Structure 1
């Protein structure tokens, strides 16, 4: 397709959130989705296992089938999807610089939705030492090799992490005839909730808690890992390492642009309408909250599509005299408590598209979370949770300066 240079809404990222938003918008305005990969659908197209699609298609689906279903639904609605398009810069206006087969181009839009998703933390970001042999993969890379290239990169790997995606790695290994020999978890308990945390036991995979990988050994291929746990240091013979989880927002586009990044979550800072610091830009999906399920991101994308459409209605009714969106009244939401990692949204606004505040903690926590508006407590909730788990607090109806206070139990 010829890349249009002016549209009502430009969506960056063709995963569940971006496709859901575009599908909502397509009947009412011109929408273009740009995707850097050669196929649309996002991470699910690499996941050849169940369950996807229950809330979107009302039946369990494998990841690739689910991704194809979302793409077909978007295209049927009239969404243009441009593949192999790399966004290189965001500008006020809004407008976006891209590179494609035709060269460098600038796309102008009334609104832009950022939906670029997440990536797993690398070995280097986790400060794992040792040599640099082949056979060290993220879960996403493993899924690409197994499901897209029908490859078996190793036979007896260890898996670092116990998040949901770590169990997805077990399923991917089973599909390829790979038998993981251990899961390594630095925390004292598995990250995934029960009963999923029982899955490794069903597969006869030992889980080593309170244990970390110190070094990876091997010349051309992985030959072993050095781990340190409750019983001290020891060597595990293995031919691969799957470095899973600890997702980070895919937010490199935000450098030096009009959209400011939240240093805590790693993604764009938004208000309760999903608007970024430049209110022509919106954001949705896992770049906001690493990491949620595909279904969660799809529902959030739908919501952002409706929100953007409502924002655009006055402009589209008077196309000759477009007006910029009103500058939203924002105040930062303050977190008080050493264990609180981040909150999304990060800013208040009088209008609300989100129903809840989402938080994460950086260590296991038991205690009480209280929400304060203008210094007055308006709600309080018990909390007993672990890192990388979703915490949802209803957004209070009161307007004003908001803070969230964590009081940990002794």
Structure 2
């Protein structure tokens, strides 16, 4: 028979956002805060990132990823937070009941509130539809950094880096630190996905940056030997001994997809209001589970806000909404967070803004409409994967409206 226990708040995920939420709850006087971490060590993705900068906002100094993660864990445990490692949540049930797999067997945990902070993962090769052989040496950035910083191993010497999101430059730094020399960084678009100045980094390190180029085939028997690239309908072979598939993050939302909670098609995470509250009011969500992808510092700050809101909710200070207004995605909008507004109270939790991402490179004029009426227009940088924030205070929400639509104009 599964062991049954209870707590005030269970937090699923021991990364920056989950640990920050736990700290905010303890500071607000919530007694029983449990963090459920499936790995042997808590701290999240920064544990794998051996390079700075982390921690300036949180601790007032620049730290490497592993040291930053360790500081987060140390701070949480000193505050009396119960971090249960190697505890995997296998099912979410209505009202905050969780099924667990633990080192001692199965268990059930009943929480008054649950905060989902399971983060993101990179898209694997199987979901990228890359042809060719199946040799060793094809990994994502997380695996590269685990090999390098945790296992102290060098999986290859001359890899090719696929992608140019911010994490691709993290992979570049990891390679340099471990003595690996990438033979190229490959990006399918006509510019890097990260901010333009990052395009200087590969050149400074002597790594060719191949724009408007796509990977179509991986070749090798046993170990990667070369890759086939295509640009302007011309194919070329590039010798290498490894392939690092970076970015294309998706929320780690498997628990949400298999549960009763509403899932947002645009973000891939749970549907939430501006407080981070899910479709079941016992559940809240924070961090990169809500949208791919933000920095550790952003996730930490968001976690603290959501933790504070959950403490208010437990104290009876977060009233049920009078009405709920849905936020719909219009032209060129990939996702919005939140996906609904609980009225009349705005702000708190996820912040005093609507966050969105563009689905493609469109014009920079954003409009928010309610029916035929435009209630807000403004210019923003709308390149893909840019953080776009629309202040809630600027929206003149009509009385009685049940939805608004966010669009990016051509």
Q: Same fold (TM over 0.5)?
A: yes
The equivalent position to 1:252 in structure 2, one of 239, 254, 278, is 254
TM-score by length of 1: 0.93
| Structure 2 portions without partners, runs of 5+ | none
Q: Does residue 221 of the first structure (1) align with residue 215 of the second (2)?
A: no
Question: Secondary structure, in 3 states, of the residue corresponding to 1:51?
Answer: coil
The equivalent position to 1:163 in structure 2, one of 149, 162, 165, is 165
Report matched runs for 1:231-242 at 5 Å: 232-242=234-244
What is the aligned partner in structure 1 of residue 320 from structure 2?
A: 326
TM-score by length of 2: 0.93
What is the aligned partner in structure 2 of residue 71 from structure 1?
A: 73
Contact 2:362 2:409 in 1 (8 A): no
Give the Cα separation in 1 of the matches to 2:158 and 2:241: 6
Report matched runs for 1:6-85 at 5 Å: 6-27=6-27, 28-29=29-30, 30-85=32-87
TM-superposed deviation, 1:55: 0.6
The equivalent position to 1:363 in structure 2, one of 356, 360, 364, is 360
What is the aligned partner in structure 2 of residue 346 from structure 1?
A: 339
TM-superposed deviation, 1:47: 0.4
TM-superposed deviation, 1:376: 2.8
Give the Cα separation in 1 of the matches to 2:139 and 2:174: 13
Larger mean CA deviation between 343-352 and 300-309 belongs to 343-352
Counting matched residue pairs gives: 397
Report matched runs for 1:266-281 at 5 Å: 266-281=268-283
What is the aligned partner in structure 2 of residue 390 from structure 1?
A: 387
What is the aligned partner in structure 1 of residue 113 from structure 2?
A: 111
| Structure 1 portions without partners, runs of 5+ | 316-323
Give the Cα separation in 2 of the matches to 1:193 and 1:327: 39
What is the aligned partner in structure 2 of residue 320 from structure 1?
A: none
Q: State the superposition RMSD in angstroms.
A: 1.7
C-alpha distance after superposition, 1:59-83 (max 9, x if no partner): 1100000001111111111111000
Q: In 2 relative to 1, CA 31–163 (structure 1 residues): closer, same or farther, beyond 3 Å? A: same
Question: Secondary structure, in 3 states, of the residue corresponding to 1:331?
Answer: strand
Q: Does residue 211 of the first structure (1) align with residue 213 of the second (2)?
A: yes
TM-superposed deviation, 1:331: 2.7
Give the Cα separation in 1 of the matches to 2:390 and 2:199: 25
What is the aligned partner in structure 1 of residue 5 from structure 2?
A: 5
